[in-house]
């Protein structure tokens, strides 16, 4: 079924709590993806329990690989190379994915391509629309908040990033303060649409740099809730969610739109779990339309962790002859720059 010129990358992702395998053709066409999410299990504990996550990855991988190949109506013989997330992430979880990938690479004699998790998030955008260079990538996930200038494929220059918490981490902490269950980010987003922007929260790190800081607004929400409780005042959770989300959107859009101008870039891509946020999606759409900027954001199901993004990035890494040996190491703190 496969054309000899076509490149089929089998992507493997297990850096956190999703066991995912995907096949992507030529870096842009998703052929099939299978995911087993552990979210319900971890929700019982209020967050991801690393040991449980690793064990569930071990149990789930064979099922997910088989499901993905079946969905694609392909066998391992049709696969050109195997791409795997080697980091950053939870070390036990990464180890399982790396072991699965190296084993498949050894058994089926396929090249092994290491993919940085955040680069995966960035390339999820290629599944929507071909990335046009130069571009600015805004990465907003549970572990990262970065503004990146990309001159070309696989050329990354960080122009700013968070000095403390990542934006997703901040969403999850605010969610906990207003008693929303894990994972809180999407729930804060949902709740904010029924609230009003009435609480005077600070605009975080409103300066001339491209850096971000979210620990201040997180503490402001905590203090606000604490003080209102002490005074016996009613806490309007939807209004807190709305005020918080508006300040986050304000600072993300302000710095990103400035970077687009300064770097004279016509394509903005947004990547990472928080790119699923409805307010962020809507506001960037409005601003980019006004400025004549092409905006690309992954489809909601590819905003959070998945293997399609790993296979998409893996194609460009494969073309750049980036390879790993069977001694590939998982790296919980893998650096991208
Ligand atoms: O990229 P991701 O799946 O995992 C990491 O690589 O970190 O991102 C997960 C983060 C979590 O903090 C989650 O709460 C946040 O993305 N998130 C959201 C939304 N959907 C997911 N945050 C705000 N609004 C959302 N709709
Ligand atoms: Zn992620």
pLDDT tens-digit map of 198-210: 999 999 999 999 9
Q: How far is the CA of 169 from the centre of ligand 2 (A)?
A: 12
pLDDT at position 3 is: 61
- Whether 305 has a pLDDT exceeding 70, the answer reads yes
Ligand 1 atom at shortest distance from the alpha carbon of 168: 12
The CA angle 99-125-152, to the nearest 5 degrees, is: 90
**Residue in 185, 189, 279, 280 to alter for ligand 1 test, most ligand atoms within 8 A of Cβ:** 185
CB atoms within 10 A of CB 113: 31
Nearest Cα residue to 193 out of 234, 235, 239: 239
Q: Is the CB of 272 under 6 A from ligand 1?
A: yes
Q: Is the CB of 27 under 6 A from ligand 1?
A: no
DSSP string, 20-36: EEEEEETTTEEEEEEEE
What would the pLDDT profile of 75-124 be if each residue is shown by its tens digit? 999 999 999 999 999 999 999 999 999 999 999 999 999 999 999 999 99
Q: Is the CB of 298 under 6 A from ligand 1?
A: no
- Whether 183 has a pLDDT exceeding 90, the answer reads no
Domain 8-124+302-319 -> CATH class: alpha beta
pLDDT at position 2 is: 53
pLDDT at position 48 is: 87
pLDDT at position 1 is: 52
Instruction: Please state the domain extents for the chain.
Output: 8-124+302-319, 130-297
Residue 147's DSSP bridge partners are 138, 160
Which residue's entry shows tokens 């700013």?
160
Q: Is the CB of 20 under 6 A from ligand 1?
A: no
Which residue's entry shows tokens 């605009």?
203
What would the pLDDT profile of 18-69 be if each residue is shown by its tens digit? 999 999 999 999 999 999 988 888 888 888 889 999 999 999 999 999 999 9
pLDDT at position 251 is: 98
Mean pLDDT over residues 252-279, rounded?
97
Ligand 1: which residue has its CA nearest to atom 2? 273
Both tokens of residue 94?
């990464």
Closest ligand to C-alpha of residue 142 is 1
**Residue in 14, 171, 188 to alter for ligand 1 test, most ligand atoms within 8 A of Cβ:** 171
CATH code linked to domain 130-297? 3.30.420.40
CB of 337 within 8 A of CB of 96?
A: no
pLDDT above 70 coverage of the chain, percent: 99
Angle of helix 215-231 versus helix 237-262 axis, rounded to 10: 160
Ligand 1: which residue has its CA nearest to atom 10? 142
230 pLDDT tier (thresholds 50, 70, 90): very high
CB of 80 within 8 A of CB of 108?
A: no
**Residue in 273, 276, 297, 310 to alter for ligand 1 test, most ligand atoms within 8 A of Cβ:** 273
4 pLDDT tier (thresholds 50, 70, 90): low
Q: How far is the CA of 303 from the centre of ligand 1 (A)?
A: 8
Q: What are phi and psi of 21, to 5 degrees?
A: -135, 140
Q: How far is the CA of 233 from the centre of ligand 2 (A)?
A: 38
DSSP 233: P
Q: Average per-residue pLDDT in the chain?
A: 96
pLDDT above 90 coverage of the chain, percent: 92
CB of 95 within 8 A of CB of 84?
A: no
Which distant-in-sequence residues (6+ apart) come within 8 Å of 1 by Cβ? Answer: 73, 74, 78
| Domains 8-124+302-319 and 130-297 equal at CATH topology level | yes
Q: Is the CB of 305 under 6 A from ligand 1?
A: yes
Both tokens of residue 286?
């409005």
pLDDT at position 43 is: 83
pLDDT at position 176 is: 94
Q: What is the torsional sign of CA 176, 181, 184, 190? A: negative
């Amino acid at each position: 079924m496969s054309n000899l010129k076509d490149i089929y990358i089998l992507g493997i992702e297990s850096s956190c709590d999703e066991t995912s395998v995907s096949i992507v053709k030529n870096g842009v066409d998703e052929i099939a993806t299978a995911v087993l999410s552990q979210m319900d299990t971890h929700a019982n504990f209020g967050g991801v329990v690393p040991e449980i996550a690793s064990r569930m990855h071990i149990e789930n991988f064979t099922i997910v690989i088989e499901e993905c190949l079946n969905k694609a109506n392909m066998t391992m013989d049709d696969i050109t190379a195997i791409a795997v997330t080697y980091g950053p992430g939870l070390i036990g979880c990464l180890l399982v994915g790396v072991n699965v990938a190296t084993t498949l690479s050894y058994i089926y004699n396929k090249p092994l391509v290491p993919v940085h998790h955040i680069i995966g998030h960035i390339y999820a955008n290629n599944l929507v629309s071909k990335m046009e260079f130069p571009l600015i990538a805004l990465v907003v996930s549970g572990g990262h908040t970065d503004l990146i200038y990309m001159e070309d494929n696989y050329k990354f220059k960080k122009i700013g990033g968070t000095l403390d918490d990542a934006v997703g981490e901040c969403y999850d902490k605010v969610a906990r303060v207003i008693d929303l269950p894990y994972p809180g980010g999407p729930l804060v987003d949902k709740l904010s649409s029924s609230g009003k922007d009435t609480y005077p929260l600070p605009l975080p790190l409103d300066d001339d740099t491209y850096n971000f800081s979210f620990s201040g607004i997180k503490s402001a929400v905590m203090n606000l809730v604490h003080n209102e409780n002490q005074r016996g005042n009613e806490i309007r959770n939807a209004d807190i969610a709305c005020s918080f989300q508006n300040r986050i959107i304000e600072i993300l859009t302000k710095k990103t739109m400035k970077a687009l101008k300064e770097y004279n870039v016509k394509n903005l891509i947004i990547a990472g779990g928080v790119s699923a946020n409805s307010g962020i999606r809507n506001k960037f759409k409005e601003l980019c339309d006004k400025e004549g900027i092409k905006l690309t954001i992954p489809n909601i199901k590819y905003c959070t962790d998945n293997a399609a993004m790993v296979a998409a990035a893996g194609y460009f890494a494969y073309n750049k002859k980036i390879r790993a040996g069977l001694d590939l190491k998982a790296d919980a703190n893998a650096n991208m720059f």
